[in-house]
Amino acid sequence: MTRANYAYEALAITEETGQPLDMSGMPNRIREWRIERDLSLEDLATLVGCHQTYLGRIERGERRLTDQMIAKVAKALRVQPQDIMKSDGQVAAEQAAIQMAELIQQMTAEEREMTLELAKTVLSRRPSKAS
């Protein structure tokens, strides 16, 4: 067992908890990006420089990416390597932030202020984290 064989697990340690992130969505994102770019599995394999069977196993979650393969797949798909490494939770949080920003842009100054106060109220009612 080498470090490279478990690269994405090693890179997926959160700073807060030190626990591995859930990377189960990563193979699906690779497949989605490939399809969005109108690439066949064979096309992507050619760009990456590996066999399509290997990429198919990655997309099905049967194989793990080495750090070298993360870089190659990211380059071929025109995404950042860290985007491949994101957990489903991180992706969902980023999508929610984008949606919120788009909605806030449509608001009046008064609506933005009310929204900010609402968010502060919601957060103030959270149980505090035990250190």
Q: Which residue has the higher pLDDT, 27 or 69?
A: 69
Do residue 94 and residue 81 come from a single domain? no
Kindly indicate the confidence band of residue 53, based on its pLDDT and cuts at 50, 70 and 90.
very high
Query: How far is CA 117 from its chain centroid?
Result: 30
| pLDDT at residue 76 greater than cutoff 60 | yes
Do residue 49 and residue 69 come from a single domain? yes
| Model pTM score | 0.56
The answer to the question of residue 129 being in a domain is no
Do residue 72 and residue 111 come from a single domain? no
Specify the amino acid at residue 28.
N
| pLDDT at residue 44 greater than cutoff 90 | yes
Do residue 108 and residue 56 come from a single domain? no
| pLDDT at residue 93 greater than cutoff 90 | no
Do residue 35 and residue 93 come from a single domain? no
Stretch 58-77: mean pLDDT = 88
* 9-16 LR contacts (CB < 8 Å, sep 24+): 9/64, 11/67, 11/85, 12/85, 12/87
